[in-house]
Amino acid sequence: MTASGISVRDLSMSYDGVPILERVSIDIAFGTFCTIVGASGCGKSTFLRLLLGQERPSGGMILLDDAPIPHEPTPERGIVFQRYSIFPHLTVRENLLMAADFQGSPFLGRIFGARRRAAREAADALLEKVGLTAAADRYPAQLSGGMQQRVAIAQALTMKPKVLLMDEPFGALDPGVRADMQSLILEIWREQDMTVFMVTHDLQEAFRLGTRLIAFDKVRVDPQFPNAYGARITYDLPIDDVTEPPMDPDAGLALPDNRAEGAEIAC
């Protein structure tokens, strides 16, 4: 029972009778950088959507600071998706002004005058932090994938969320760009007081960034009926050294032999 942080109790989720997650329970302390790995279809993204409140769990609950999270997205939980995270009809700077617009003007959805100038300054400061000052007046379609994700991260930060959720945010980026983005997100996480959940396919990335790594996998597999059981958390590793990945990250997470091959198919 944490005083502050996220507590997941007996969470389960199924779609049309097919269980995806089974009785997942975990406590995550405030300020953790939690990376989430697992085979495709093993419920990583589902877990993230439940944390976001985008979907309602079939059972169990999620507590944020000891209060159940609302079943819809709220400003205290920011999100960065792999794609479609930023508004295509707005320039980069306008994207970062949206939060201030929403807070400051319930009916017009747009603030003016001195308040807008103040918001603009804050937005420009954020843009400088993520290295996008030169692109402030460009539209998302004119930016590279890495730049778009920088905007998405900066935009999520405009609300100063307690929890930042990221669903494979760097999955579509080139390796070099990805390394830059990893450094950027680490830097931001250290500066801002927040808990980060990041789903990734890349084990190296999971070890490099996370202070805690959780892996989703199916504990029980019925070979005749692969969808019979949902996934649970199979590994929960605290990572002490956040900068250096272990020599062989895959070894630490190798699946038990009898399921090593079947896992991908099962999930």
Q: Report the interface residues with another protein, using CB under 8 A.
A: 52, 54, 72-75, 77-79, 81, 83-90, 98-99, 101-103, 106-110, 139-142, 155-156, 158-159, 161
C-alpha neighbours within 13 Å on the C-beta side of residue 100? 20
- To another protein, the closest distance from the beta carbon of 87 in angstroms equals 6
Nearer to another protein, 68 or 70 (CB): 70
What is d(CA 217, CA 208) in angstroms, rounded to the nearest whole number?
A: 21
- To another protein, the closest distance from the beta carbon of 226 in angstroms equals 27
Nearer to another protein, 159 or 181 (CB): 159
Nearer to another protein, 90 or 172 (CB): 90
- To another protein, the closest distance from the beta carbon of 193 in angstroms equals 18
Nearer to another protein, 158 or 195 (CB): 158
- To another protein, the closest distance from the beta carbon of 95 in angstroms equals 10
- To another protein, the closest distance from the beta carbon of 114 in angstroms equals 21
Contact 181, 206 (CB under 8 A): no
Nearer to another protein, 101 or 180 (CB): 101
Tokens at 18, concatenated = 């097919």
Contacts of 60 (CB under 8 A, 6+ apart): 8, 9, 10, 11, 12, 23, 24, 25
Phi, psi of 58 (to 5 degrees): -75, -25
Q: How many CB atoms lie within 10 A of CB 128?
A: 12
What is the Cα 15 distance to its own chain's centre? 21
User: Can you tell me whether residue 232 is helix, strand or coil?
Assistant: strand
- To another protein, the closest distance from the beta carbon of 186 in angstroms equals 22
Nearer to another protein, 74 or 133 (CB): 74
Looking only at the bridges linking them, the beta strands covering 212-218 and 33-38 are parallel
